[in-house]
Homo-oligomer: A and B are copies of this chain.
């Protein structure tokens, strides 16, 4: 199913892919696709994340600074490529992001993103075990991924090597977060 989606998205762009075509191309019944992924958007998000996990594995370079810098470089490369764009597009399209609907909302966005978040947390926990600054993955989301993604989306500011290094420095040398406690 993943291969069928990747193929169709490459051919037509993600906006022109539907579950019926994915079912036909993969030989898997549409009902099974809906049962497993909930929605087309959930499936597209899963495929984009799987490719990102494969092409941009979480770094393990022996120091927090090196890991964060490598992660930041990956993120800035990914977001400006088709996978990162597909991921953003899939997230935006998901039912549980849209504010103008009530009723049942899919939790698949949070579930899918949690997998990558857990991998990132393992990287941070390795640093903590080495005696380096303990960070939560939400710190990396706020201080690294968020500015990189927003500068790309808004088309302002620019993201070069010096800027990424600056963001990493701020995370590695951030003042104590004791004031706001530990957030989930």
Q: Chain A: residues with CB nearer than 8 A to chain B?
A: 13, 80-82, 84-85, 88-89, 91-92, 96-100, 109-110, 113-114, 117, 138, 141-143, 145-147, 149-158, 162-163, 166-167, 179-180, 183-184
Copy number in the complex reads: 2
Residues of B within 8 A of A138 (CB): 151, 156-157
Interchain CB contact (< 8 A) of A162 among B92, B155, B180: B180
CA distance A113 to B184 in the complex (A): 32
Contacts of A155 in B (CB 8 A): 96-97, 109-110, 113
CA distance A147 to B110 in the complex (A): 16
Chain B residues within 8 Å of A96, by CB: 155
Question: Smallest CB–CB gap between A168 and chain B, Å?
Answer: 12
Nearest neighbor of A84 in chain B, beta-carbon distance:
B99
Cα A183 to Cα B156 in complex, Å, equals 10
Which A-B residue pairs are the 10 nearest by beta carbons?
A146-B146, A146-B150, A142-B147, A110-B155, A138-B157, A166-B180, A146-B147, A82-B100, A92-B92, A85-B99
